[in-house]
A and B are shown apart, each in its own frame.
Chain A
Amino acid sequence: MSGHLPLNVLWLQSGGCGGCSMSLLCADTPDFQGHLRDAGIHLLWHPSLSLGSGDEVLALLQSVLDGQTRLDALCVEGSLLRGPNGTGRFHMLAGTGLPMIHWVRELAARARHVVAIGSCAAWGGITAGGDNPTDACGLQYDDDQPGGLLGADFRAAGGLPVINVAGCPTHPGWVVDTLMTLAAGELAPADLDPLGRPRFYADQLVHHGCTRNEYYEFKASAEKPSDLGCMMEHMGCKGTQVHADCNTRLWNGEGSCTRGGYACIACTEPGFQEPGHPFHETPKLAGIPIGLPTDMPKAWFVALASLSKSATPRRVKENATADHLVVKPAIRKTRLK
């Protein structure tokens, strides 16, 4: 960025739930507003956090379009609703008589960076579920197909494609780190993965740091909700395949989906909203889960799984199907002598 100008951020919400903004407010800081300001991030307008309403907002949008107000980062939360029949009328921006997709196209053309906040804005997300009644898509993707509202060739004025901070919701740290990196002028094309996600969180797997790892190692599996065992075999967990640092960065203090007792449903990945099977059940072929750990050949997995199942300690096996430790770990001397 040039000189000491702050990163001017305009945040718009469309076909989503607002949950990424609510999550953002959970950022791990004792002074959220000061934290952003001190990082050089200036919110021109945010739907939940700004004073301006109605004509004040419309004047701001016009000022950006007229080039009077510099727009460094356009953050869009929620999918872009193209329907019905390409008109965008499933979301007309209040007070304007114009579809939100019109505003997003116009503003994106004037923004130095365009940031998709959450899986809806990145890929279409939950709103594109079922038969996608509103023709929802992401800013630059339609599920995993490049395109979306702005098109595969879109590059913001700063040279980057849309930055996809995917997740449902996004972790507040992913958003704040992305904005801080942009404010510092330090986000390069190589810092994005092939789907446009910042690598600082997308090069991790949800499996990394999962507290159920010992159960995973022995394929000691949970069979029902609230069981302590690994949720990959029966409960639909995709954490060994899904890109995100949820179990090392943690959510709301000490949480994550797997720590909360439920499966990773791949919410950072395009198309997660239509997995083709009930979310809480693992699809299998001949008794073997179809989705195997990333980078692991199937034959190895099958061999390792059958070996580890036969070697499962009683403690791990019994605890896996209980909701509290029924067998405690033995106490061992850990010194050599």
Chain B
Amino acid sequence: MTTPSDAGREAGRLLVGPFNRVEGDLEVALEIAGDRVRSAQVNATMYRGFEQILQGKAPHDALVYVPRICGICSVSQSVAAARALADLGGLVMPPNGQHATNLILATENLADHLTHFYLFFMPDFARPVYADRPWHAEAVNRFAPDRGVQVRAATAARQRWLTLLGTLGGKWPHTQSVEPGGSTRPIDAAERVRLLARVREFRAFLERELLATPLEAFTALDSEAALWDWYAQAPMAGDLRFFLSLVPDLGLQALGPGPGRYLSYGAYAQPDGGFALARGLWRAASQALEVLNPRSITEDATHAWLADARTPLHPLSGLTRPEPDKPGAYTWNKAPRLAGEVVETGAIARQLASGHPLVRDAVARHGGTVFTRVLARVLELARVVPMMEDWLRALRPGEAFCVPAELPDEGHGVGLSEAARGALGHWLVVRQGRLANYQIVAPTSWNFSPRDAGGTPGALEQALVDAPVRPGEKTPVAVQHIVRSFDPCMVCTVH
């Protein structure tokens, strides 16, 4: 039997885990050559079987089960399910319902970006391994998990921010107000005024602590050169600039390159059609946004402890049945592919697909890396807060927020949405009024995909190749930066 003290290291091989600050449990097996990672296998170590649990349920019951896949992407799961049920029933939300749904989703997504930056990602720079760096004392001061002044301030800002959802959705997580026909919680005029004030509070936090700059001035930066000029104006002002000061010192601009293909399903559907942040596949090599074809999405279970149809399956005909003794398997996660290709998803994909010049320029120079992933998330915080202010102003108190959901006894539905961490899809099939199949492909299912039948590694598995390993490291800090730069959610990954 393996004991903890000797589990970590074998010659040329590291078994790394448990990772924390990744939401759920994660293990990475590394092959080391010299002072670099030669190859990586990513293991999502826990299986709960939501796709099995949902079999035979009344379709509307999915809205109780799926948010409980994940406590940090809870609303995102609800929105994807609601969109799939709306697709099944041919339902269209009234404008108030669409705005309320977007506000609820954006509140969660921005809370997650804030949580990622302050609580999950930045604390690693307070590690003793960096004690020799000139910025280390300040990193400890700001980001030590228990005492860091900015960690504590951000936790308080997050708490206040999520009170939006007490009003808009009753509670968070596991908000049950998201319906295929809209929102169960009408907002009156006085509540709207209070919600706008609460959004301004969050705006003030971002403008004071994170950016030390008005949101609109930050989102107006249109190139990486403009970003560094902005940085040089006041190198220690605000926590983003502090991060930027680490980028060249640690080479974060080149650390953890992804596959160069970026998937967004489109975020925040609008009442008149379309999305506030566009849908599409951004291909770095050609600098082009390609039209997304959801029919080309498949899952390959070759290396998962799951029954393997011997061929990749589209989620509508997807299969989830555990086979814990399957040879060659090393994770509970299937390998999603878009037209057979590995893609990366997340805020970086949304900012590329929606054409923001700062992220397009930075990614053109460096690719998808630790630096550009974090930058895209911060940019999204700055871009979406003003959108939320617009959606709140667009609410029409007294008009409908929800239409009742009449669902057919036979049919299927597809719900594509964007969680904080990227593209989230639900596919459901209904027979005789019951769920006959329910398949979920989550953002980290894409990003932390295992190898497929052809042996092609997933996005993180590729990103970890050539990561530096310091002498004696059992949990290499560079590997941790790369892993966390994706803002992974392991409980969504396998569900």
Contacts A168-B174, A254-B167, A262-B184; A278 near B49 (Cβ below 8 A):
no
Q: Indicate if the CB atoms of B401 and A226 lie closer than 8 Å.
A: yes
Q: Indicate if the CB atoms of B145 and A262 lie closer than 8 Å.
A: no
Stretch in contact with the other chain, from B15-23, B347-355, B379-387: B15-23
Q: Indicate if the CB atoms of A255 and B48 lie closer than 8 Å.
A: no
Q: Indicate if the CB atoms of A94 and B26 lie closer than 8 Å.
A: yes
Q: Indicate if the CB atoms of A324 and B186 lie closer than 8 Å.
A: yes
Type the 1/0 row for A25-50, where 1 means its CB is closer than 8 Å to any CB of B. 11111111110010000010111111
Type the 1/0 row for B151-167, where 1 means its CB is closer than 8 Å to any CB of A. 11001101100111111
Q: Indicate if the CB atoms of A25 and B61 lie closer than 8 Å.
A: no
Q: Looking across the interface, which residue of chain B has its beta carbon closest to that of A21?
A: B71
Question: What is the CB-to-nearest-CB distance from A260 to chain B, in angstroms, rounded to a whole number?
Answer: 2
Residues of A within 8 Å of B404, CB to CB, are 224-225
Report the count of interface residues on A (CB-CB < 8 A). 89
Contacts A15-B48, A98-B2; A226 near B185 (Cβ below 8 A):
yes
Type the 1/0 row for A62-98, where 1 means its CB is closer than 8 Å to any CB of B. 1000000000000000000100100101111111111
Q: Indicate if the CB atoms of B170 and A19 lie closer than 8 Å.
A: no
Contacts A94-B17, A133-B49; A261 near B171 (Cβ below 8 A):
no
Residues of B within 8 Å of A100, CB to CB, are 25, 46
Residues of B within 8 Å of A131, CB to CB, are 52-53
- Tell me if A111 is interfacial: C-beta within 8 Å of chain B: no
Report the count of interface residues on B (CB-CB < 8 A). 96
- Tell me if A217 is interfacial: C-beta within 8 Å of chain B: no
- Tell me if A165 is interfacial: C-beta within 8 Å of chain B: no
Residues of A within 8 Å of B151, CB to CB, are 33
- Tell me if A199 is interfacial: C-beta within 8 Å of chain B: no
Q: Indicate if the CB atoms of A18 and B24 lie closer than 8 Å.
A: yes
Residues of A within 8 Å of B155, CB to CB, are 25, 31-33
- Tell me if A169 is interfacial: C-beta within 8 Å of chain B: yes
Question: What is the CB-to-nearest-CB distance from A114 to chain B, in angstroms, rounded to a whole number?
Answer: 20
Residues of B within 8 Å of A178, CB to CB, are none
A96-140: which residues lie under 8 A (CB-CB) from chain B? 96-98, 100, 126-127, 129-131, 133-134, 136
Stretch in contact with the other chain, from A52-60, A145-153, A183-191, A328-336: A52-60
Q: Indicate if the CB atoms of B60 and A278 lie closer than 8 Å.
A: yes
Question: What is the CB-to-nearest-CB distance from A40 to chain B, in angstroms, rounded to a whole number?
Answer: 14
Stretch in contact with the other chain, from B4-12, B207-215, B231-239: B4-12
Q: Indicate if the CB atoms of B46 and A261 lie closer than 8 Å.
A: no
Residues of B within 8 Å of A260, CB to CB, are 169-171, 175-177, 184-185
Q: Indicate if the CB atoms of B45 and A91 lie closer than 8 Å.
A: yes
**CA distance in complex: A28, B401 (Å):** 29
**CA distance in complex: A19, B120 (Å):** 16
**CA distance in complex: A324, B401 (Å):** 10
- Tell me if A179 is interfacial: C-beta within 8 Å of chain B: no
**CA distance in complex: A95, B28 (Å):** 8
Question: What is the CB-to-nearest-CB distance from A47 to chain B, in angstroms, rounded to a whole number?
Answer: 5
Residues of B within 8 Å of A8, CB to CB, are none
Residues of A within 8 Å of B367, CB to CB, are none
- Tell me if A279 is interfacial: C-beta within 8 Å of chain B: yes
- Tell me if B245 is interfacial: C-beta within 8 Å of chain A: no
Residues of B within 8 Å of A50, CB to CB, are 20-21, 145
Residues of A within 8 Å of B23, CB to CB, are 18, 48
**CA distance in complex: A25, B23 (Å):** 14
Question: What is the CB-to-nearest-CB distance from B47 to chain A, in angstroms, rounded to a whole number?
Answer: 5
**CA distance in complex: A30, B68 (Å):** 27
Question: What is the CB-to-nearest-CB distance from B330 to chain A, in angstroms, rounded to a whole number?
Answer: 11
Most buried by A among B17, B20, B152: B20
Residues of B within 8 Å of A292, CB to CB, are none
Residues of A within 8 Å of B174, CB to CB, are 19, 168-169, 267
Q: Indicate if the CB atoms of B53 and A133 lie closer than 8 Å.
A: yes
**CA distance in complex: A252, B159 (Å):** 8
Q: Indicate if the CB atoms of A49 and B119 lie closer than 8 Å.
A: yes
B122-162: which residues lie under 8 A (CB-CB) from chain A? 123-124, 126-127, 144-147, 151-152, 155-156, 158-159, 162
- Tell me if B328 is interfacial: C-beta within 8 Å of chain A: no
Contacts A17-B74, A19-B173, A253-B163; A89 near B324 (Cβ below 8 A):
yes
Residues of A within 8 Å of B18, CB to CB, are 47, 53-54, 57-58, 93-96
Contacts A255-B167, A261-B170; A32 near B52 (Cβ below 8 A):
no
Known contacts A16-B71, A32-B159, A62-B5, then 7 further A-B pairs from the complex at CB < 8 Å, ordered by chain A residue: A22-B72, A26-B162, A90-B46, A225-B181, A226-B184, A258-B170, A261-B177
A-B contact pairs, 19 of them (CB 8 A): A22-B172, A51-B145, A54-B16, A54-B475, A81-B47, A81-B48, A87-B324, A92-B45, A93-B18, A94-B45, A100-B25, A127-B53, A130-B56, A255-B171, A260-B176, A262-B170, A262-B184, A278-B61, A324-B186
Lowest 9 CB-CB distances: which A-B pairs, in order? Answer: A260-B170, A19-B71, A94-B17, A54-B475, A255-B166, A261-B184, A252-B166, A253-B163, A95-B17
